[in-house]
Amino acid sequence: MPPKLFKKLVIAVSGTFPGYRQGRNFCDVQFLIEFFKSTTRELTRHSYAGDLKAIVERHGATFTSSVGTDCTHLIATQKEADKKGAKLSLDWLLDSDKAKKPVSEAPYRFGASHSNRNSQADPAKSEKKRSAKAVQDTDDDRSNKKPKQIMEDAQMITAEKAAKVRVRVDEYYHSNEHTWQVFIDDSGLIWDATLNLTVSAANNNKFYLIQILNSKDGSRYQTWTRWGRVGERGQSVLLGDGTLDSAKKQFEKKFKDKSGLAWKDRLNSPKNNKYTFIERNYEESDDEDEKSDNKLVKQPSNIPASKLPAPVQNVISFIFNQKYFLETMAQMSYDANKLPLGKLSKRTLMAGYETLKELAELATKPSMAMSKYGMQLRPAMEQLSNRYFTTIPHVFGRNRPPVLDNQAYIKREIELLETLTDMEITNSILKDASKMEDANPLDSQYAGLGMQEMTPLDHASEEFRELEKYLSGTRGSTHGVKYKVIDIFRIERQGEHDRFKSSSYAGLKNSNRRLLWHGSRSTNYGGILSQGLRIAPPEAPVSGYMFGKGVYFADMSSKSANYCWSHNSDHKALLLLGDVELGDPIYELYDSDYNAGENAKKEGKIATLGKGRSIPAGWKDAGCIHPHLKGIQVPDADSGTTDHKTDQGYLLYNEYIVYDVAQIRLRYLFFVDMR
């Protein structure tokens, strides 16, 4: 049982939230940690609309009909903010659920704390100046709510947090770092700015760093700046006469010169041909980073032995191997120094998705270049590519930044953003596990995944042999991969069984369940196992997915193995087998269709089959693997493959796509050496 982070909190809801129902008797809430640990991946803000009471009750919370004297927190609308008690916006509840832990309360409070936070940088005024596009919330159903504006600025932290956080001084600052620190003013504003500018035509891929540094004794202040090409050290200079007033003036002047925006308006739409402010997340990990840099921090002397079976220890160590994180980011040209894991804000990721969406639309409809952007196709694509690489920093060395002028380039960048999202989740679990000093690190990391079951199979068992046969017997003739199974685990994610049983797919009259493969990079599995397989967010371009936004599976193991990128993880990889409800008949296609999900739904179908040429010759009941799989179909590896003779299409192998994660139950995890 995971620790109860919220066991002392009693939370109430007051007010009316458009798109939500409080549910019957929705008031006092004694939160349990299961509320977060069992959160499934589809439970994002885009699926929150509905019964708020049900959202919490499904995770074990209880409710009463009134706000009692033991109520410690109130989720409220602005209308309710004049009443007594700790009053928080709805975003606190939803963001805490998504983060799987209680987030800082202060940014979500109504009343005096809000006005105090705005007094320094005055973001409320700058909000009014911002274009609709710039302030558009990524969660469409709640984009106009005033409480969300409180969370617009990640640069602002609470006074309590400011006393603990030590924002990292630039690594190239020449003085003794332990005598200087990044300045955080009394309002919680962090005076630290990273700016980026990419212009492909001029072969520009530049950064500009600005920090106010103050001596730890509080006697001196100075503005440190460093600039150059991304991935290089560049040049640097110190500014100011040692006073805080001078340091602020120098900081604000440099920021305005480079970005075209006042420091207080840093979140406004970027100016053309100017640097863009890159928002960083300071809330999560800067204090931990400071600890990790301090060589005087004591390491646990007596680490308890792990309680996990040895095969589970091995696979957990593999999933959380930070070396693979670095290799993956380098292979995808991402600048991990500019925005390391833990510092990448959700808004930055969503801004990246939105730019890729515009690029994909432009690639599909070239006429939009003139009608929407007032220029020819190539300059329009270059402008959008520059915006993307400015928002999501990449290292290109001295090479010219590319123009994302085709779907293959765009697809690669979509994969990067998906990978960064999962690595952020994995990194968060790793951080939380590191705080549990009385437990073995592997045990803490495993607990962070929130798995219901991860049982290593006996290699001599019939279950193992049947699964191994399915793996080795479904290698495509065009795939040269060779497998050596290290271990196979029977798995169950918390809540997936109940989710399926309570869905409309349970007991489907035209049921067609199959045991199918899904592959992904090793760095993605912290996110996948803790939150489940996920459908791309609305901000992602639909054209980046051959058969629309959904979860993709295969009946040939080697097709899924191609998505594992095992060469980035010492030639080892993880593969999943999912129990997937496809329905009968399936919506069948021979060629790509970005709107396949919508078209399938119009025909009353719940899945798409992209028909390949090389297909399993036969299928059998998966009950031969394990009794709990009876009724599910699996390819008969003994029958081999056959050619599906057709002049249509170009797919070599089948692809199965579902558009609702409730159709999926993960059953097995393979740990495999791939050569």
Q: Which residues are catalytic?
A: 655
For residues 583 and 511, the answer to whether their CB atoms sit within 8 Å is yes
Q: Which residue, among 426, 458, 278, 235, has the nearest Cα to 342 in the 3D structure?
A: 426
Amino acid symbol at 443:
D
Residues 6 or more apart whose Cβ sits within 8 Å of residue 192: 155, 167, 182, 210, 211, 212, 280
Burial class, 671, CB count within 10 angstroms (exposed 0-12 / middle 13-18 / buried 19+): buried
Dihedral angle computed from the Cα positions of residues 255, 258, 264 and 269, in that order, rounded to the nearest 10 degrees: -160
Q: How many Å apart are CA 208 and CA 229, to the nearest integer?
A: 9
The residues, any chain, with a CB within 8 Å of residue 470's CB and separated by 6 or more, are 515, 557, 577, 625, 634, 635, 637
Cβ atoms < 10 Å from Cβ of 598: 12
Is 1 exposed, middle or buried, given 0-12, 13-18 or 19+ CB atoms closer than 10 A? exposed
In the chain, the N- to C-terminal Cα span, in Å, equals 39
Q: Are 251 and 263 in contact (CB under 8 A)?
A: yes
DSSP collapsed to 3 states, 371-425: HHHCCCHHHHHHHHHHHHHHHCCECCCCCCCCCCCCHHHHHHHHHHHHHHHHHHH
- Do 149 and 124 meet the contact criterion of CB atoms below 8 Å apart? yes
Helix (H) or strand (E) holding 3: none
- CA 251, CA 243: separation in Å to the nearest integer? 12
Q: Pull the structure tokens for residue 266.
A: 């840093």
Of 132, 141, 151, give the one whose Cα is nearest residue 17: 141
Rounded Cα distance between 413 and 357, Å, is: 11
Residue 507 half-sphere exposure, CB side, CA atoms within 13 Å?
A: 4
Q: Which residues contact 410 (CB under 8 A, 6 or more apart)?
A: 356, 359, 360, 363, 404, 541, 543, 544
| Cβ neighbours, 10 Å, residue 628 | 13
The SS3 call for residue 591 is coil
d(CA 621, CA 278) in angstroms, rounded, equals: 53
109: closest CA among 53, 188, 36, 37? Answer: 188
